[in-house]
Amino acid sequence: PVHPTAARPLPITVQSENVAYSDEHIVSKFFNRGSEAVFANGMYSVKPVSKPFEFQTTRKVSKTGLMMVGLGGNNGTTLCATILANRHGISWHTKNGIQQPNYIGSVLRASTVSIGTNPATGKEVYVPISSILPMVHPNDLVLGGWDISGLPMDKAMERAKVLDWDLQRQVAPHMAEIGKPLPSIYYPDFIAANQEARADNVIPGSDKQAHLEHLRADIRAFKQKHALDRVVVFWTANTERYSDIIPGVNDTADNLLAAIKASHSEVSPSTLFAVASILEGEPFVNGAPQNTFVPGVIELAERHQSFIGGDDLKSGQTKLKSVFAEFLVNAGIKPLSIASYNHLGNNDGHNLSAEPQFKSKEISKSSVVDDMVNANRLLYKPPAEGAKGKAAKGEHPDHIVVIKYVPAVGDSKRAIDEYYSEILMGGRSTINIFNECEDSLLATPLILDLSILAELLTRVKYRDLSNGAQTEFKPLYPILSLLSYMLKAPLVKPGTDVVNSLSRQRNALEAFLKACIGLEGNGDLLLETRIW
Ligand code: NAI
């Protein structure tokens, strides 16, 4: 039997004058309802607004390849083995009995949304999110990618020590078919020195322009070999140190392209992969915390209307924090400090034991409560007018993050968080959370969700009907902030606010997918249950 999370979803048809189905497209009319609020003369003045849009979704799902950078790592091998076990229906023995493959932990495959109420029973009807619009099934993804370690995939899975042996044993021949990862670019300065021993599969030379062209050729060749419509390139390689942002080097698209030509030392491997993907017109997602998306990359993505998303997978501690901090602040309780400790023993932890790489992770983990604090200036004083630097954030809870490498615990990361809060009349509350995050098993479904959503969003176009004029459909803005739910430090359109709250991120995704089929997003009012 196929596990329900791996089953093919049933289609949905919406009967509405706002939705039209053709063989090729679903076109929906959508009113973006909101309000404009201003504060003047000692009062708030609010005006409801409603702007009409149209969304056009191509129904035919692209034949999609997923090329991972860091294919031979814990995430890369776990993802490949998971897909292959699902695809080939491999079940295995554990000490608890027979285990079936599944996609638990994937929002798209294993969580549901309400599409309405059944009038006969009055009960809400829930469907998998993947039923809302046509999406790639993970079993159909064509797998490939790069690694600086040339260990073949069956052996790399063994090295990762993530999956049960009886599963590894059965899936190994399929993993061996993927073979050896493509050679990658290795600039030792960007990852920890302790990774050097792995780097036996590197593209020779130090000419960054030649490296860029090599990566572009790899993407094209993979696409051609497997007759793909689309390739998603996904960075799940080691965390790099931050790149310095240097005027004239990586601050604009043209400067960045020139810096690559000049093999400038501040252009990181991940930035080169991002540039290669953008120039090939294929989506690129950054699953690690470093600042791959220097301003020049963002400008290049805008210029080529090519999709990018990031940064850093939100799998364990930060995911919990983006729920827990919101719960406290929205309950009117004031966190005074959040102290987070982690220890882990996998290769990611080994790499993060070096200071510059830890710094990248620290930054990405740190901003997660900012939006909740900003939304509640009853509890936290706003910044003084004209405040600069740290003071520009206004009052803020103390927030620290510590990460230690403890080889013995392997992939099973332990995270301890203390939330120390002010409660009524000067009282204090302390909540401690101990969280064991099976790292790669939590991260793998996020890579799937991000890749599947990235492909979907390349098929959604929109037009603004505000002026009544029939303008052309155009693609979404290149920074895919709709991917935020799965990301620790979501990249958003410059000048717009980051939303870290997990529930708001999920609501946004649900509302967007539903808008594409002409349904209202949030039905939580449930008015019929409140009235006579
Ligand atoms: P890993 O260390 O097992 O795998 C990373 C792989 O990348 C290694 O095989 C390494 O040889 C390869 N690599 C390094 N530099 C490369 C380059 N320039 N080109 C190609 N390959 C390169 O790490 P893991 O656990 O798979 O994590 C991968 C990334 O995802 C890390 O940056 C980690 O911080 C990030 N991440 C992981 C999460 C998790 O829960 N597992 C959560 C959030 C982020």
What is the pLDDT, as a whole number, of residue 195?
A: 86
Ligand 1 pocket check: which of 71, 75, 285 to mutate, most ligand atoms within 8 Å of Cβ? 75
Residues with CB under 6 A from ligand 1: 69-70, 72-75, 146-149, 184-186, 191, 198, 236-239, 269, 287-288, 312-313, 315, 346-348, 351, 439-440, 442-443
What is the pLDDT, as a whole number, of residue 364?
A: 73
DSSP H/E element including 159? helix 153-160
List 312, 348, 371, 417, catalytic entry: 312
List 314, 319, 321, 361, catalytic entry: 361
Ligand 1 pocket check: which of 162, 238, 312 to mutate, most ligand atoms within 8 Å of Cβ? 238
Cβ atoms of 304 and 473 closer than 8 Å:
no
- For residue 471, the CA-to-ligand 1 centroid distance in Å is 43
Mean pLDDT for back-to-back runs of 10 residues, the chain (532 residues): 87 92 95 92 93 95 97 98 97 96 96 92 92 96 98 97 97 97 95 90 96 98 98 97 94 97 97 98 97 97 96 88 89 94 89 87 79 87 86 88 92 92 96 90 97 98 85 94 94 91 92 93 76 83
Over the stretch 111-157, which tens digit does the pLDDT of each residue have? 999 999 898 998 999 999 999 999 999 999 999 999 999 999 999 99
Secondary-structure percent of the chain, ordered helix, strand, coil, rounded to 5: 40, 25, 40
Work out the burial of residue 33: count CB atoms within 10 Å of its CB; fewer than 13 is exposed, 13-18 middle, 19 or more buried. exposed
- For residue 90, the CA-to-ligand 1 centroid distance in Å is 26
Q: Rounding to the nearest 10 degrees, give the CA dihedral for residues 3, 5, 10, 12.
A: 160
Closest atom of ligand 1 to CA, residue 351: 2
- For residue 71, the CA-to-ligand 1 centroid distance in Å is 8
What is the pLDDT, as a whole number, of residue 111?
A: 96
312 is catalytic: yes
In whole angstroms, give the CA distance from residue 451 to residue 282. Answer: 11
What is the pLDDT, as a whole number, of residue 468?
A: 74
Cβ atoms of 469 and 456 closer than 8 Å:
no
DSSP H/E element including 36? strand 25-40
The protein residue with its alpha carbon nearest to ligand 1, atom 43, reads 313
DSSP for 360-375, please give it.
HHHHHHHGGGHHHHHT
Chain center to CA of 351: 21
Closest atom of ligand 1 to CA, residue 313: 43
What is the pLDDT, as a whole number, of residue 59?
A: 95
In whole angstroms, give the CA distance from residue 84 to residue 176. Answer: 11
Distances (CA, A) of 103 to 3, 137, 262, 321: 8, 11, 44, 23
What is the pLDDT, as a whole number, of residue 411?
A: 87
51 is catalytic: no
Closest atom of ligand 1 to CA, residue 237: 7
Complex ipTM value: 0.99
208 is catalytic: no
List 208, 413, 461, 514, catalytic entry: 413
- For residue 75, the CA-to-ligand 1 centroid distance in Å is 7
In whole angstroms, give the CA distance from residue 243 to residue 161. Answer: 31
In whole angstroms, give the CA distance from residue 369 to residue 518. Answer: 33
- For residue 409, the CA-to-ligand 1 centroid distance in Å is 17
334 is catalytic: no
Distances (CA, A) of 95 to 60, 166, 170, 437: 42, 11, 17, 20
What is the pLDDT, as a whole number, of residue 466?
A: 86
What is the pLDDT, as a whole number, of residue 523?
A: 73
